Amino acid sequence: MCSLKPINDMKIDRSILEYLASRDNDLAFLISIYPNPSFPNSNNIYQDIVETIIGQMLSKKAADTIANRVKEKLGSSTFDAMKLKQASREELRACGLSYAKTDNLIQLALDVSQDKISFSHLDELADEEVLRYLMNIKGVGPWTSEMIALFSLGRQNIFSYLDVALKNGIMKAKGYKTISQTRFEQLRKKYNPYGSIASLYFYHCNDDPSFLRFTK
């Protein structure tokens, strides 16, 4: 999920990075070797949710292939809701979607086109309220809602125990062989209220093949 490319990027205030560095030496090291990341903030939540549902349980390459097939089938550069709701299940299945994902995407497109689902008010809600609202959407579970909250809405305190890439990044940065939920929750409290910013650094570490060459 961290491959989502946000449309609008907001630079992270240096004082936040200094706070996080003061809370954790390993995170301080990541902050010292990686550039100040841009904080994601998308202006099209619907498109991001469609892309995320398509990519559930798939590699990025497979997800991108299927997403491009769907757009081609719709004759659009986006997941146009009006066109998607009118697409047949057989057409979408032929793009490589599962039965469940096909039904979820058609329902989402129907709800969005009929204004049964709106995202314009999400900025007014607290994080937990945002997650609950997103999980009311068919096909959006806890992990998907957290990824949308972080990578699309730019919420600053998302630290997802359900995200394998985040846990791998933490283990890599800290030299852990495993990470228990108890230890993970201790880190969540340590990085509060900027769990998302900490997450971005651990994602960077996880994706960095040269990290092991660095020495503390």
The answer to whether 39 touches 196, Cβ cutoff 8 Å, is yes
The secondary structure of residue 166, as a DSSP letter, is H
Kindly report the CATH number assigned to the domain that includes residue 98: 1.10.340.30
Helix (H, G, I), strand (E, B) or coil at 171: helix
Q: Which of 99, 130, 151 represents a domain boundary (last residue)? A: 151
Please give the pLDDT value at position 43: 75
For residue 148, give the nearest of 125, 170, 181 by alpha carbon.
125
Q: How many domains does the chain have?
A: 2
Please give the pLDDT value at position 11: 73
114-147 pLDDT, tens digit each? 999 999 999 999 999 999 999 999 999 999 999 9
Residue 207: which domain range? 8-40+156-213
The answer to whether 185 touches 146, Cβ cutoff 8 Å, is no
Q: Model pTM?
A: 0.86
- 192 and 122 in a single domain? The answer is no
> For residue 72, how many other CB atoms are within 10 A of its CB?
11
Tell me whether residue 166 is in a domain: yes
- 182 and 130 in a single domain? The answer is no
Rounded distance, CA 131 to CA 112, Å? Answer: 18
Long-range residue pairs from 72-80, CB within 8 A, at least 24 positions apart, any chain? 78/44, 78/47, 79/46, 79/47, 79/50, 79/51, 79/105, 79/109
- 63 and 128 in a single domain? The answer is yes
Rounded distance, CA 176 to CA 194, Å? Answer: 22
- 184 and 122 in a single domain? The answer is no
- 22 and 54 in a single domain? The answer is no
The answer to whether 127 touches 149, Cβ cutoff 8 Å, is yes
pLDDT > 70: percent of the chain: 93
53-110 pLDDT, tens digit each? 999 989 989 999 999 999 999 999 999 999 999 999 999 999 999 999 999 999 999 9
